[in-house]
Every structure is written in structure tokens, then in C-alpha cells.
Amino acid sequence: MADYEITIKIKSGATTSADGTPDALPTGEGEWSNFYHDWTTDPNTGEAWTWEAINALQAGFDLKCGDGRSKCTQLYVEVEYTPAAGIARPLVGGSLAGNSLVGKGLVR
């Protein structure tokens, strides 16, 4: 593990999933970076996301900074989906097959 890194994580049901290899943080004063990871399937089920799973989702991160000066100012989740043919607005239930969940953050 490097002295300056971030790992984006989500928790779905009983499963906590990290985004793989930690990303290196910028080390220069005043430098900011965006980090993200796509989860195309629900890590708890291995299947397409459902609205119920998205509503219960928890998002977070591990931030390691050698000198204690790194900060995470934002963490948010973006859901990308394509409505089924003939549906003008999102469904309350159902599957999000072929779509992804994106965890994003702004870090310095």
C-alpha cells in the first residue's frame, strides 16, 4: 500500500465490495483528482441491480494519507439506466439489466 491512496467501496446486502487496486492520490499542494468505479452488477447477488438494492446501498471509501493532509470533499453515487421500451419514467421495482452503478468522489 502506498502512503497516499483511495479505495472506493460499496455495501450491498451483506457484501462489501472494493473497486480493486487502490488509486494513488495527488501529493502536490492544492491538487485535486476525481476517482470513480463502475459496478455493472450487484456484488451481493452477482445479478443486475434492482431498485431495492440501490435504495439500500451504502457507499464509502478508505483514504490513506501519510501526512494526514488529504481530504475527500464529495462522495456520491450515480445510477445510469435505460428505461424499458414504452416506459416514460423509472419503475419503482424491477431490474436494471445492462446498466451500471458508479461511485465517484473528489479527493485532494
Radius of gyration from C-alpha coordinates of the chain: 16
How far apart (Å, rounded) are the C-alpha atoms in residues 45 and 59? 17
What is the average pLDDT across 74-96?
Answer: 64
Q: Which residue shows C-alpha cell 472506493? A: 8
Give the model confidence (pLDDT) of 30-77 as tens digits: 778 888 888 888 999 999 888 899 999 999 988 888 777 777 888 888
pLDDT given for residue 85 in this prediction: 66
Question: Are 41 and 12 contacting, i.e. CB atoms less than 8 angstroms apart?
Answer: no
Mean pLDDT computed over every residue of the chain? 77
pTM: 0.68
pLDDT given for residue 42 in this prediction: 92
- Identify which of 58, 61, 91 has the alpha carbon closest to the alpha carbon of residue 73: 61
pLDDT given for residue 101 in this prediction: 53
